[in-house]
Structure 1
Amino acid sequence: MSLKDEWDRLDSETRTWLLENPACLVLPPAMSAKISKDAQEDIACDPQGQVVLSREDHDFLREKAEAAGTIRVPAGEYRFFDTATLPVVGKAPPEARHNATG
């Protein structure tokens, strides 16, 4: 299955969810069931019955999400959109380490 080929058969709720979650690698069970139900082709699923998206599917979703304005990412840069930015952690000054241990 290719999301590009199935896109027009998907309902608007499913399309919206996909555009808001373009970095999803495996679709949740409920979303997988909705897509499988309406698909014209056989859909590859993992052992739990969840649809696994291909690189082409991710590229397609990214293009659609950028066009819809749900994401803005420079071309060629892949990011996980559902993760928070990690904080920068530095070493504590020597006096703070001393006070914490003694």
Structure 2
Amino acid sequence: MISTHILDTHLGKPAPQVEIRLYDAKTRTLLGNGVTNDDGRLKDFGIEHIEQGAYLLEYDIAPYFAKHDLKTFFPQVSIQFFVENPNEHYHVPLLISPFAYSTYRGS
């Protein structure tokens, strides 16, 4: 399973209503998409089975910052990661602010 979570470090809150797309990184085939909930989480992309390989998460963060009347240097964030064991849960948190972002492998 693949999930994600966005935290706005500028406002100190989760980032709700952010659109996220999941792609096969090799073919750029769209595998699923969704919008973060009020807690900034997207628990799954509606995919029943994932395979070993490279994936790409694409986050549209410009509309989120625009709702807060903030300009951002990064209108979109793309994170590529590799699934080694398809039986594991892959959680990809994203920390955002108007002029920086970071990520890590969560649990």
TM-score normalized by the length of structure 1:
0.26
Greater fraction of residues in helix: 1
Structure having the higher Rg? 1
TM-score normalized by the length of structure 2:
0.26
